[in-house]
Structure 1
Amino acid sequence: MEGGFYFTSKSPGGALATFVERIGVFGNPGAAPRDVVVLPDGRIDLFFWRNDNGGFDVLLLGLETEAEQRSVPPDTLAYTISFTPLGVEYLLGMPIAGFLNSGIQLDDGFWGFTAADFADLDTFYTKAMETLRQRLPAETDGRKEKLFSLMYAANGEISVAALAVQVGWGSRQINRYFSQYFGLPLKVYCTILRFRASLPALAHGKLFPELDFADQNHFIKEIKKFAGVVPKELSKNENDRFVLLSLLKGQ
């Protein structure tokens, strides 16, 4: 990626795929800060961020509902685990409703990670996979698994009422679960998934909606809501500042 900034990730696959989307590393080895824009994508990121003392600070970010401009300092190195909402509930075991569009710092040595586990991505991936497998639940709420499976399969293009019927779980209970555990209504999360599903086409210069938007104006409005810019500017992606789009373009 331009300016030396890089991001590389691996998918866990198997039983962990329901709970974790990717395990990765990113960095800015250059001498100057790198401005990037982080887009809402429905994931919850756990960061192990190298600090000035040679150790790693542990940060957990909540779900995001808007684009956020960030400056990545020079000589940055960070490892990440990106969870699905179910992963937050069953592997992390903690609600994240209290830090929507923000985050919290966790204890050093979280989950027993040590400096040796951050030698490179392969080493970190091995340690992360071992740790995550140990935390796999013996059983889960089948309604929740079906709920997320249907949402992902539909790229968020499914109503709360339809989900409630298919899952066999009342709309009010579903929304209460989402609000109390993740900090936002289910409908909002679905729109984030639809926005995320639009990004691969935009990354390759397709400026017209391929999903079920009411019309072009609705598409433009929703893209701007989550990206802060209209589809044309997002697709142009000057200076690779929309990191997620740059990654999708390379796929």
Structure 2
Amino acid sequence: MKYREIKPNGFLNNFVQCFWYYETTDTEIQHTILPDGYFDLIAEFENETLTTVKLTGIWTKPKDIQIAKNAKFFAIRFKLLAIEYIFRKEIKSILDSIVNLPFSFWSIDKYKTDEFEKFASEISNNLETSIKLLKPIDSRKLKLFDFVYEQKIKTVAEISNKVFWSSRQINRYFQTRFGITLKEFLNIVRCNATYEEISNGNLNPNPDYFDQAHFIKEIKKYTGVTPKELNQNKNDRFLQLSKTD
């Protein structure tokens, strides 16, 4: 398999985690997608032909997927703030699921499978232009997502104090837009932050977990397996761990 990422620049980084490309060989592949605190817009090609354009919800549990042979993917991994300011909708209705979009969405059907860089560049430019036309962005939300994704602050109470936004109002915002609480979002992002360490053989909890038992329990909750099984990653089952090698 081949996997690569292109990171956004400047202010767009508040909305897009990366553009990513994935390619399989001449065999089908079974993967398990793990919760990571993002959602994705994915274009799938089989034998050089666009077959699907879809938007995923936020994953709160592992998702088994079967990927066809000779498949290619162009995708955008979005931070949660994008759902409000780029898509201008909620995403709670597709929590742990997907919705298909028309092939013409954002003119995705015009790209050939060897034009990933062009795809990332042009859509970046279009998104940057649309963001400039937005109504003023709530600075509390910008700070909140920066704190969480950068692992700067790790409890609901601390975030509430830092962004001057009550915990009740934050949770209402999260439930309305995303279908999860801020606490669960924090737990998912914290779990995602351990994947690289686990893939490198570090099976001991970081300071964010009370002890080894708590660490194993939380990892198993969001991945379905123990840290040891994640580390073994048989047959590249867990794509997020495979790509950190």
What is the TM-score of this pair, normalised by structure 2? 0.93
Structure 1: segments with no counterpart, 5+ residues: none
Distance 1:174 1:248 in 2: 32
Contact 2:48-2:112 at 8 Å conserved across structures: no
- Answer with 113-122 or 208-217: which moved more: 113-122
1:23/1:153 CA distance change after superposition, 3 Å: closer
Aligned to 2:73, which of 58, 70, 78?
Answer: 78
Contact 1:51-1:57 at 8 Å conserved across structures: no
Distance 1:72 1:154 in 2: 32
- Indicate yes or no: 2:143 matched with 1:142: no
- Structure 1, residues 155-208: CA drift from partner, whole Å, max 9, x if none? 6x6221221121111111100100110110110000001101111110100000
Which 4+ runs in 1 deviate beyond 4 A?
Answer: none
**Corresponding residue for residue 88 of structure 1:** 83
Distance 1:154 1:124 in 2: 30
**Structure 1 position 56, deviation (Å):** 4.5
Contact 1:41-1:192 at 8 Å conserved across structures: yes
Contact 1:56-1:115 at 8 Å conserved across structures: no
**Structure 1 position 117, deviation (Å):** 5.3
**Corresponding residue for residue 94 of structure 2:** 99
* SS in structure 2 of the partner of residue 113 of structure 1: helix
**Corresponding residue for residue 243 of structure 2:** 247
**Structure 1 position 51, deviation (Å):** 5.6
**Corresponding residue for residue 43 of structure 2:** 48
Contact 2:34-2:238 at 8 Å conserved across structures: yes
Distance 1:191 1:223 in 2: 10
Contact 2:33-2:239 at 8 Å conserved across structures: yes
- Answer with 122-131 or 179-188: which moved more: 122-131
**Structure 1 position 129, deviation (Å):** 1.3
**Corresponding residue for residue 161 of structure 1:** 157
- Indicate yes or no: 2:17 matched with 1:21: yes
Contact 1:23-1:80 at 8 Å conserved across structures: yes
What is the TM-score of this pair, normalised by structure 1? 0.91
Distance 1:6 1:220 in 2: 30
Percentage identity across aligned positions? 33
